[in-house]
Structure 1
Amino acid sequence: MKKIHSLTILGGGTAGWMCAAYLARHQLNLSVTVIESPSIGRIGVGEGSTPHLQLFMQSLGVQESDWMSECQASYKTGIYFDNWNGDKSSYFHPFFSEMDAKTAEVYFVNANARRRGSEYFDKPNHYFLAAVLADKQQAPLPQSPLPRALEYGYHFDAQKLADWLRKFSLARGVKHIPSTVSEVQHQAREIIALTLESGEQVSSDFYVDASGFNALLIDKALKVPFVSFSDQLLNDAAVAIANDKKDPLPSSTSSIAMPCGWRWQIPLQGRTGHGYVYSSAYVTAEEAEAQLRQAAQLDKGQAKHLSMRVGMMARSVEGNVFAIGLAQSFIEPLEATALMVTGHSIELLNRLLSQQLDYEAINQELSDLVLGIKEYVLAHYATSKRVDTPYWLDAKAAALSLNELDELLTHWRSGGDFDAWLNQHRQQSPYIRPSWYCLLGGMDHRDSSCHMPFEQAPQHIEYAAKVYLNKLSEAHFIAHENALEQLHVCGA
């Protein structure tokens, strides 16, 4: 690929401004322009992240006190999954760190024993530091040094984060054009220029398509095929409502199963975000809103309704266009992976601009990433024991139609060496061993007729693990609200 001197990003939002900020920091000789339409609203309902956002913000050279208060951000230790096996079922999916290396092994032993026939059912909630912090509503920010770094995510106001990233980018020389593109000029597999409503033309060596589900460049202009996931992931719509702040402030997200999908509860500094991801084939938008209001006890707040195009572009980079964000792919935000995929895409773009990667390698890596996320999200439905609505019956059948996932679950239920199987068959998966154990063990997925010899963790070892993590939380961590107040003081 020839040397690129100028790049235009079509679309603002979180994805577009993440890209602009990263390039302004890492491609100092590149001229970057963002075209952002003031008439096209931003989509930002999934206000949660994985630890990748922590690393991304560090790559910009900023501190948490620089941005968290301005974006109403709070800390995220992981996700509670409630009612996925029916009423009152619950388990916690933590973010993992090296601090869990020994205590997690206790859980792995018990999870393996359970799937081989043990009557003892244990959950991941007690064996990971992040889970203990969530239970105590503490922030994952240590107040005194730990021997190993702790990974965590954030909850944030997506609109405010995009605005903050825009200010960061403009201060570092990024050009901002608030206008709508009326025409895309292209020839063969190349974008020649973008014509604005004013008639002005913007031309660059390279383009980033961050135009959301519209995918104006990668789809509409270059005709790269879209690969739909709708045959296996049934949810295609969402409704979101903001409500009062939770007190005390949780440091975790909640994902709560509903009759036709699931709802989220995300705590920010100034409000709580509620939403319901559902399938429009089973419930209308009006019915979904009513179900959300009743379940979350929301008698006020304006509802925002969204339609979702679930799937991915067959290729993320084509000609002189790189698609990121919703223009590239979208999977329902069950595991808050959207910004992780966006951030990773931006890192690959940076390497492409530095001529360290080619198109084929990038397309393959991003395809593998998205398909790996798809498999993991489907596993939540495939392992659910719910049979109370047609939606749950169909969602399970659709998930199990993914042959690769069916093979993974079959091996888990067989009681065989799951670690060896993962190492052989899922080395490139974005989800590692602890993730699979927490999901499959937390959902108590097993063949109840399986009876094999098993090793159970001794009770004194379990007790020691729990005591150790509780002492860590008491010695190094404080209440979530207090940690955020300290950040605000540092930022001021």
Structure 2
Amino acid sequence: MKTHLPTKTIQSLTILGGGTAGWMCAAYLAKHQPTLSVTVIESPHIASIGIGEGSTPHLQHFMQSLGVKECDWMPACQASYKTGIYFDNWNGDNSGYFHPFFSEMDAKTAEVYFVNANARRRGSEYIDKPEHYFLAAVLADKQQAPIPQQPLPRALEFGYHFDAQKLAQWLSAFSLARGVKHRQSTVTSVQHDSQTVIALTLESGEQIKSDFYVDASGFNGLLIEKTLEVPFISFSDQLLNDSAIAIAGDKITPLPSSTAAIAMPCGWRWQIPLQSRTGHGYVYSSAHISAQQAEAQLRQAAQLDTGPAKHLTMKVGMMARCVEGNVFAIGLAQSFIEPLEATALMVTGYSIELLHRLLSQQLEAQAINQQLSDLVLGIKEYVLAHYATSKRTDTQYWQDAKVAALNVRELDALLTHWRDGGDFDAWLHQHRSQSPYIRPSWYCLLGGMDHRDSCCQMPFEQAPTHIELAAKAYLTQLSDKHFIAHTKALQQLLLSDQRSA
């Protein structure tokens, strides 16, 4: 279905729902559409999900687009830096690998890893890991932040760990200070005509009318799904995890600069370091384990004897269209993939940028629907690849997760080409040029998981030993010379105004 904006100029916009997604949208529009009248309707009866407390580098760029410094928002959100993710025990042998954020600083050293990863999949017995060749991985290993003491020739890519509720509160204050209106009330009914929302009726009986609406109502999808009846496309037959538990633990000292994603019997658990506490969680399949059993497993694995547990149900999938009539769905109302790669805020931020272009009449709704569909499907494929490449067979969950992932034809084609030993770079360029995951990400995952056909024997060229040693020495020396430890000194630095973001 082709969807167009009304021909008249959009002068007013209402965001249904607060939370991180709703307030990110309000803050961005307040900054980049200052003449637009923006109202946020936030129900006081609906608690924030807050399941994800990690981000990709997109959040770094998003906050920069608001014109704010890290010292403006990071202390208020108990935030710390994130250089990447440790994946532990995903093959069931207590091994693991680090998936770093790739930056231009890695251009030459990463090539050494690519050579060795290609040699391995073609029959070499030499085993190497991505963490040896990326600057972010060296920083994570040394528990250092990606904040250089001296200017670097290229910018570093990094994400953050943060308290999601505090981030929403900070964005709310930022938005209200710039003229965004805030109504704390529950919407009791929606007046609409065909594919157009006309007004929202609040519990007081008051009606809120706008030219355009953003649905940030979470899994409820009040406007996009329940009112305009856009179909929801479920991924439950491919991604089996539909539940999660979150428990707060003590702060880790010294503070790590990486997330941990640790495989469990029926899913995986996260460990996210904040300035004041550590976030622990377990993402699992309710078809394979009960909520009570999952909580017991998490408490035992993370040594969490006390503290309340927050149980969550996840609606995994996406709307067939995120733009319908005069409604744009963002956040959980638009799509959700389990937070294995911390992509939720990346999708939300990108969606908001597209919304800005839609309101400015720079892009049509049909193109936006296609772009966001491609983005979510690309993320789904990459997340599925973690299960498809796992060697674990110790529980029924891991057996079922692998089968479900390999039933996705497009992913199976990608993995087959990797195992066959052919020119994987050329294949990626031809078939995944629009994927959100670029060459380094695929090499880190497939090489890190040691995914290969052990019978494959092809000519290969392994990087000379002196080249490997030089690459590793370069990264270590760069780290020692330019970076500071991520300890109490970092928090003091963030609280000062002595440096810019």
Fold conserved between structures, TM > 0.5: yes
For 2:189, the equivalent position in structure 1 comes to 183
Shifted more, 85-94 versus 411-420: the winner is 85-94
Paired position in structure 2 for 1:437:
443
Q: CA deviation at 1:143?
A: 1.4
Spell out the pairing of 1:17-56 with structure 2 (5 A cutoff): 17-56=23-62
Match of 1:451 in 2: 457
Distance in structure 2 (CA, Å) of the matches to 1:445 and 1:97: 24
Structure 1 equivalent of residue 395 of structure 2? 389
The TM-score normalised by the length of structure 1 is: 0.99
Alpha-carbon separation, structure 2, partners of 1:163 and 1:241:
21
Contact 1:20 1:34 in 2 (8 A): yes
Specify the SS of the correspondent of 2:38: strand
- The change in CA–CA distance for 1:491 and 1:330 in structure 2 (over 3 A counts) is farther
Q: Which amino acid aligns with 1:197?
A: E
- Aligned match of 1:486: 493
Aligned residue among 142, 150, 153 for 1:147? 153
Match of 1:170 among 151, 173, 176: 176
CA–CA separation in structure 2 for the residues paired with 1:415 and 1:269 = 44
Displacement of 1:205 in angstroms is: 0.1
Note the alpha carbon deviations across 1:70-125, whole angstroms, 9 max, x for none.
Answer: 00000000000000001321100000100000000000000000000000010001
How far the C-alpha of 1:264 sits from its partner, in A, is 0.1
1:136-285 aligned within 5 A:
136-285=142-291
The match for 1:8 is 14
Aligned pair partner of 1:344 in 333, 350, 371: 350
> Which residue of structure 1 lines up, in the alignment, with residue 475 of structure 2?
469
Q: Secondary structure at the match of 1:70?
A: helix
8 Å CA contact 1:76–1:253 kept in 2: the answer is yes
SS in 2 for 1:233: coil
Aligned partner letter, 2:418? W
Tell me, in whole angstroms, the C-alpha distance in 1 between the residues paired with 2:186 and 2:293: 35
Match of 2:294 in 1: 288
Query: How far does residue 483 in structure 1 lie from its aligned partner after superposition?
Result: 2.4
| Sequence identity (%) | 80
Asked if 2 retains the 8 angstrom alpha-carbon contact of 1:74 and 1:269, the reply is yes
One-letter amino acid of the structure 2 residue matched with residue 379 of structure 1: A
Q: Tell me the alpha carbon deviations over residues 260-314 of structure 1, each in whole angstroms, 9 at most, x when there is no partner.
A: 0000000000000000000000000000000000001110111000000000000
Residues in 2 aligned to 1:361 and 1:304: alpha-carbon distance in whole angstroms: 38
- Tell me the secondary structure at the aligned position of residue 76 of structure 2: coil
Output the CA distance in 2 between the equivalents of 1:90 and 1:247: 22
Distance 2:65 2:310 in 1: 33
Q: Is the 8 A contact 1:141 1:483 kept in 2?
A: no
Note the C-alpha offset of 1:490: 2.6
CA distance in 1, matches of 2:159, 2:148: 14
Most deviating of 84-93 and 379-388: 84-93
1:399 maps onto 2:400 in alignment: no
Distance 2:491 2:434 in 1: 36
Report the CA distance between 1:491 and its aligned residue: 8.5
State how 1:97-116 maps to structure 2 within 5 Å: 97-116=103-122
State yes or no: 1:324 paired with 2:309.
no
Letter in 2 for 1:402: V
Distance of 1:392 and 1:456 partners within structure 2: 33
- List alignment gaps of at least 5 residues for structure 1: none
Query: Among 422, 426, 432, which residue is 1:420 paired with?
Result: 426
Match of 2:83 in 1: 77
**SS state at 1:305 partner:** strand
Deviations 1:412-433 (A, max 9, x none): 0000000000000000100000
2: CA distance, partners of 1:480 / 1:81 = 21
**Matched AA of 1:462:** E
**Paired amino acid for 2:128:** D
What CA distance in whole angstroms lies between the structure 2 residues aligned with 1:26 and 1:315? 25
The answer to whether the 8 A contact 1:84-1:386 is kept is yes
Per-residue CA deviation, residues 24-83 of structure 1 (Å, 9 max, x unaligned), is 000011000000001111111210000000000000000000000000000000000000
CA distance in 1, matches of 2:11, 2:396: 54
Q: Which runs of 5+ in 2 are unaligned?
A: none
Q: Choose which of 60, 64, 67 in structure 2 pairs with 1:61.
A: 67
Hey, what's the Cα distance between the residues in 1 that align with 2:335 and 2:351? 11
| Local SS of the residue matching 2:147 | coil
2-side partners of 1:490 and 1:59: how far apart? Answer: 19
Cα distance per residue 1:303-354 (max 9 Å; x no partner): 0000000000000000000000000000000000000000000000000000
Pairwise CA RMSD: 0.8
Runs of 4+ in 1 over 4 A off after TM superposition: none
SS at match of 2:140: helix
Give the distance between the partners of 1:51 and 1:43, measured in 2 at CA: 22
